[in-house]
Structure 1
Amino acid sequence: MSKLTLQSTAKLATGYTIPLLGLGVYKNNENPGEACLAAFRAGYRHVDSATMYGNEAQVGDAVRRSGIPRSELFITSKVASNSHGYEPALAAVDTSLAKFGGDGSQYFDLYLLHDPKGGKEKRLGAWKALIESKKSGKLRTVGVSNFGPKHLDEIVEAGLELPAVNQIEVQPFCQQKEIVEWCRKHDVLIQAYCPILRMAPGKIDHPIVVKVAEKHKKQATQVLIRWSLQKGYIPLVKSTKEERIKANADVYDFELDEQDMKDLDSLDMGANGAIAWNPVDAD
């Protein structure tokens, strides 16, 4: 595989590129802006927010305070299922952009349906709204989150363009193999949330994770991020502390070998290994 760096990107179906490592700001309502600025100082150029997180405004403020040209940053937000349906989702995009702020020319690099709840009709209506918002220039790329194969099949059956991204919980204990297979078959990129297990006891300190970390003289979290990158995913790592934000990006001076990957792959527990909400089977 080609050598990865913090500047490595993947190409989206829309032709834009997405940095392979992102900062997540879920449950960061105390200092999301400062976390973003710390990440920018460390070399990150990708931040993942959402309407549900309640911090789009702080992320937008950090983007402006950073002094980094907007074109060099990749910012994501999402609309939750309580705003599914065509008209509600159109309005949600405008609300997100208003919170993000700026001079009126702002856009999101990526905007997702945050979850598949709410039923097929509203899901498809919301997806059509995101496509329309992309055409109008408000969004550069659109995608989904927590969508299982049946939700993705609905989009195919409706004759609509496919999402460029599906953001799902992916980590060694919850590998979502059926969803990953579907997405790879259809050239949909996988963004991995919870890649470092949020310090989940029994998982972050599992003997195999510890063994691989000790072998490479790295932190367990760094090994988990490296596993995600080598799988071809786009991990979204969350921290509020600058030293951890830096440490989470210190994953480019080592590589997991074939046995390391096999050992970590062996930990899969299917849906039972999820540590977050994981609504991939929603009706």
Structure 2
Amino acid sequence: MTFRSDKSAVPTIVLPDGNVIPQLGFGVFQVPADEAAGVVTKALEVGYRSIDTAAIYGNEEGTGRAIREFGLPRDEVYVTTKLWNSEQGYDSTLRAFDESLKRLGLDYLDLYLVHWPVPKADRYVDTFKAFQALKADGRVRSIGVSNFTPAHLERIIAETGEIPAVNQVELHPRFIQAPLRSFHQSHAIATEAWSPLGQGQVLDDPVIASIARQVGRTPAQVVIRWHLQLGNIVIPKSVTPERIESNFDVFGFELTNEQVEAISGLNADTRIGGDPETLTAGLD
């Protein structure tokens, strides 16, 4: 079954700049380049209207081709990509943006993110200033960051005068990032969750399995619903058609406050991915 939901079924989040982003999107992390077009086409068929990629994923070209060939008006598909660490710096950021936009085959981006802060390089402020120039030129609607800590965010705000619209971070039931989400809320920064299912590691948890039985849904649907009810933007990824469909079918039920709290109670402050304070990938 294909859930060709009208896009109004997906809630939207208002960003600090006044633009809106669908709360449920589709991520293409680790989707092979030669599969990206087919996978993204399937996601669009199901009803996803927000697609998240990145330069380092190597699949911007296939992602963009699927979006263009699917035929929806451009303003009905929200497109995000990210600047890789090796391209940080003012001038190099502008060049990298041009290259990403060319690979995507689009005239503008809805959201551009600094992929990691890489504080060792100390270029993320200049990078964000380049983002501001791109936004001022109308080439990107909203600008944000990924994997930034409160200290990184405070510096960006102090030195550029602009609040990043989004911070996309690792966030799942075993790493709920409560202090960071609280910081985001106090500054009206939208929280976007990558690895929202903990790369599948949380789906066998007895608490989540029990709640899934109670509501008659899959564990993945329960976790995605948990994200939505917390107010997170969530971008699950899959290359399996059935899971692409199932992960979108999360608007016909709600979790109780007790169920949301039980899932949040699984937090162990356990990361799957890198540490934003120490990650230096791309600098070598």
Give the corresponding residue for 2:231.
232
Cα distance change of structure 1 residues 99 and 31 upon mapping to structure 2, 3 Å threshold: same
Give the corresponding residue for 2:276.
280
**How far did residue 210 of structure 1 move?**
0.7
TM-score by length of 1: 0.92
Contact 2:43–2:244 (Cα < 8 Å) also in 1: yes
- The AA in structure 2 aligned to 1:231 is L
Q: How does 1:161-172 map to 2 (within 5 A)?
A: 161-172=162-173
SS of the aligned residue for 1:237 comes to coil
Give the corresponding residue for 1:25.
28
Contact 1:124–1:155 (Cα < 8 Å) also in 2: yes
**How far did residue 7 of structure 1 move?**
2.8
Contact 2:13–2:22 (Cα < 8 Å) also in 1: yes
Contact 1:166–1:188 (Cα < 8 Å) also in 2: yes
| 2:134 equivalent to 1:133 | yes
How big is each residue's C-alpha offset from its partner over 1:112-160, in whole Å with a ceiling of 9 and x where there is no partner? Answer: 0000115374110101011111111111100000000110111122142
Contact 2:174–2:198 (Cα < 8 Å) also in 1: no
**Is there any run of 5+ residues in structure 2 with no aligned partner, and where?**
1-6, 280-284
Give the corresponding residue for 1:181.
182
Choose 13-22 or 65-74, whichever is displaced more.
13-22
Q: Return the alpha-carbon distance in structure 2 between the equivalents of residues 216 and 74 of structure 1.
A: 31
Provide the alpha-carbon RMSD of the alignment. Answer: 1.5
Q: Return the alpha-carbon distance in structure 2 between the equivalents of residues 244 and 193 of structure 1.
A: 17
Identity of aligned residues (%): 35
Give the corresponding residue for 2:50.
46
**How far did residue 176 of structure 1 move?**
1.2
How big is each residue's C-alpha offset from its partner over 1:134-193, in whole Å with a ceiling of 9 and x where there is no partner? Answer: 111111100000000110111122142010000001111101122111111000000111
SS of the aligned residue for 1:26 comes to coil
Which aligned segments of 4 or more residues in structure 1 are displaced greater than 6 angstroms? none
Q: Return the alpha-carbon distance in structure 2 between the equivalents of residues 83 and 118 of structure 1.
A: 14
Q: Return the alpha-carbon distance in structure 2 between the equivalents of residues 159 and 5 of structure 1.
A: 35
How big is each residue's C-alpha offset from its partner over 1:208-239, in whole Å with a ceiling of 9 and x where there is no partner? Answer: 11111111111100000000000000101100
Q: Return the alpha-carbon distance in structure 2 between the equivalents of residues 6 and 119 of structure 1.
A: 42
**How far did residue 6 of structure 1 move?**
3.6
Give the corresponding residue for 2:4.
none
Give 2:69's match in structure 1, choosing from 65, 86, 93. Answer: 65
Q: Return the alpha-carbon distance in structure 1 between the equivalents of residues 129 and 160 of structure 2.
A: 11
| Number of aligned residues | 272
Choose 107-116 or 23-32, whichever is displaced more.
23-32
Contact 1:143–1:164 (Cα < 8 Å) also in 2: yes
Q: Return the alpha-carbon distance in structure 1 between the equivalents of residues 55 and 238 of structure 2.
A: 19
| 2:17 equivalent to 1:14 | yes
- The AA in structure 1 aligned to 2:145 is V
